[in-house]
Amino acid sequence: MPRGARTVLSRHNLNRTYHGAVAKLADPAVPLRPTARRILRALRDGGSQRVDQLTARLAAAGRRPIRPATVTTALGELHAAGLATVDDQDQVETAGRWTARPVERDPLLDAVDLHGAHDLRHTFATWLEDAGTPARVIDELMGHEASGRGQQRGSAMGAHYRHTTPEMAGRAVDAIQQRLTIVLKVAEQTIEKYPNRSALRVF
């Protein structure tokens, strides 16, 4: 794409979306609303606390004060996300003490070698090559130019006379579609088994 062009991917900022998904796997608190994040941080820093203690702590921090009812609502969000627990559910708004649960590193982060959004291009090229797509077609679909010493695939004459046909492009699309169908099926099964893995819903 020409420099400065605005495409669907650039408008939705694929790079930011990718890193956001990885951050959610590293810490489930990432998708929380700002107030819930503030309260979770206070619980992690200050240990077990009641609603009134959290309200006072946040007010003493010099930022905009938060009402006890708002704190209680945010604690409910943390509880639903599995990030905080209360010792007495019947005394949430009075004497119940809230504690932040330890963050468990998602095993998906150890199962894959992540480097950045550019990994998606590596996956795209690998899937096409695994499906038997000619290297010249892969280069063309990825926008690679076979120019310069050491970059030319095949003969210069072949690069001049051989072109990607609509049928070749169609087979490449089918190959990617088959892989994506498998990936989405696995993702759906994982979400059903582990509902808290909200990072998988990003893509």
Q: What are the tens digits of pLDDT across the range 115-128?
A: 777 888 888 899 99
- For residue 150, the model assigns a pLDDT of 47
Q: How far apart are CA 19 and CA 115, in angstroms?
A: 10
- Asked which of 88-92, 104-108, 146-150 is least confident by mean pLDDT, the reply is 146-150
- Please report whether residue 128 resides in a domain: yes
- Average pLDDT (63-92) is 82
Sequence-distant (6+) residues with CB within 8 A of 58 are 38, 39, 42, 65, 66, 71
* Domain stop point among 84, 100, 116: 100
pLDDT of residue 200: 46
In total, how many domains does the chain have?
2
**47 shares its domain with 82:** yes
Residue 122, in any domain of the structure: yes
| 98 has a pLDDT exceeding 90 | yes
Angle at 20 between CA 114 and CA 44, to 5 degrees: 105
Q: Is residue 124 part of a domain?
A: yes
**In terms of domains, do 123 and 91 share one?**
no
Tell whether 10 is covered by a domain.
no
The Cα 157–Cα 112 span in angstroms is 40
Residues 84 and 120 in one domain: no
* Residue 117 resides in a domain: yes
Q: Is the dihedral of CA 172, 175, 178, 181 positive or negative?
A: negative
Same structural domain, 81 and 114 = no
Q: Are residues 41 and 84 in the same domain?
A: yes
Read off the pLDDT of each residue in 103-124 and give the average, rounded to a whole number. Answer: 78
Domain end point (choices 73, 100, 127)? 100
Same structural domain for residues 139 and 195?
yes
Last-in-domain residue among 69, 100, 131: 100
CB atoms within 10 A of CB 147: 9
Q: Are residues 52 and 124 in the same domain?
A: no
Q: Rounded to whole angstroms, how far apart are CA atoms 24 and 105?
A: 10
Domain of 91, in residue numbers: 29-100
Q: Are 187 and 200 in contact (CB under 8 A)?
A: yes
Tell whether 123 and 195 lie within a shared domain. yes
Q: Are both 135 and 81 inside the same structural domain?
A: no
pLDDT (0 to 100) of residue 75? 92
Task: Please indicate, yes or no, if residue 175 is contained in any of the structural domains.
Answer: yes
Band the pLDDT of 175: cuts 50, 70, 90: very high
Note the pLDDT of residue 6: 73
- Which contiguous run of DSSP H or E holds residue 108? helix 108-111
Q: Give CA–CA dist 76/26, Å, rounded.
A: 22
